[in-house]
Structure 1
Amino acid sequence: GGRTVPLKVSHLYLQGHDTTAAAINWSLYLLGSYPEVQRKVDKELDDVFGRSLRPVTLEDMKKLKYLDCVIKETLRIFPSVPLFARSLSEDCEVAGYKISKGTEAVLIPYALHRDPKYFPDPEEFQPERFFPENSKGRHPYAYVPFSAGPRNCIGQKFAVMEEKTILACILRRFWVECNQKREELGLSGDLILRPNNGIWIKLKRRHEEP
C-alpha cells in the first residue's frame, strides 16, 4: 500500500545519485586523459559563462552541446550500469539463434558500446561521435547507457542535468590532469562500474576568482 511509496522514491534517488557520481568520476578521468577534448570543453564553457562563476541555468544547459557529447561518450566507454537483465515476453530470433519466451537475457552495454560497426576505434574517447550528423542512421539500440524500451531509466534526463551542472561547476574553475592508464584502473562491474584502484587526478586552477 502507501508504505511502499517512500521506499521506491528513496531507492530511485539513492540509485540515481550513485550512477550519476560514477559518470562524473569517469568524465573527469577521460577529460584528464584527453587534454585536446578538455580544451574544447573549456572553450564552450568560456563562450557560455566567460569568467563568471554564476549558477548554471536551464538556458545554459541547452548551449552546452559539446559537454553533452562528452557525457554521452563517457557513458559509452564506461556505462554506469555495465549490465542488466530482461525476461523475454515472446519467442524471438537473434543473429540466427532462436530464443524461447521466458528466457532471462543479460545485456552488457560495456561490450555493446564497443561494437566497431557502430563505434570505430571503440576504445578512443571521441565525443564527436554524438554530433547529430555522426549519430544519423545509428541503430537506436547500439547505445543504451540508460537501458531502453518501457523499462528504461525514468531519471535519465535528470541525471544528465546533474552531470552537466556539476561538471560545468568543476571545469569552469579547474583544469584536470590524469596519467592513469586504463589497465591501472582495475574495473569492477557489480551493480555500478567502478575503478577498484580509484582515480587519481590533479586539479589546476584555470582563472583567478573574480
Structure 2
Amino acid sequence: MDLALIGEGGHSKVIKDLIGSKPGYKIRAVLDDKYEQLQLVGDVYRGPISSAHDLAEQISSLKFVIGIGGNRVRKTIADRLGLASDSYMTLIHDSAIVSPSASIGVGSVIMAYTIVNADVVIGDHAIINSGAIVEHDSYVGDYVHIAPKALLTGSVAAHEGAMIGAGATIIPGKRMGEWATVGAGATVIHDIPAYRTAVGTPARTIAESS
C-alpha cells in the first residue's frame, strides 16, 4: 500500500510508526508547506501540500492520510485539496480492539490500544488517540479528536470538529456540539454546546472554543 502523509509534526511521527508496523505499507511521500517544491529525496517524495494532485497522477495507487492533530487544520486541508473520498486511507493500529459492527470513515486513524465498541459510528478524518475508549452506540463526527486515555461511555455523541482532551470522561448519552472542546481530565455530565469549551469535574462551560 503506497501512502502519502500530509504534515510533518509530532502527530505525524506516531502515524509514521503505525504505518511502519504494517507489512506491505510504505510511505511514498511526505507533504508539508515547509517544502517549496516537490522533489524526490531518496525514495520518498517531499513537497508542499498542494503537490498532492501531481503525486496522485504519478502514483495511481497512492492513498493519503492527514497526519495533523488540529481538527480545524485537517478540515482546511481536506477542503482545500478537494480529493475524492476514496483517495484517503483509514488506518487502524493492530493493537486496537474494534468491534465488527463499528463503522469508521475515510482518513480516520485509530491509534494503539484503543477500544471501539459495538455499533460505534466514526466519521471521516477523525482521530481516536492512544488508549482512548469509545463505548457502544456512540457517534464521533468528522474531524473529531479523542485524545489519549479519554473515555466516551455508551451513546455519547461528539459532533464535527469536537476535541475531547486527554483523560476526559463523558458519561452516557451526553452530546458534544460541533467544534466544542472538553479539557483534559474533565468529567462531562451535561451536554456541551457547539463552539464552547468545558473544563473541570464536573465540567463547566467557560468560554467559546477557538
TM-score range with shorter-chain normalisation? under 0.3
Q: Which has the higher strand share?
A: 2
TM-score, normalised to structure 2's length? 0.25
Q: Which has the higher helix share?
A: 1
- Structure of larger gyration radius: 1
TM-score, normalised to structure 1's length? 0.25
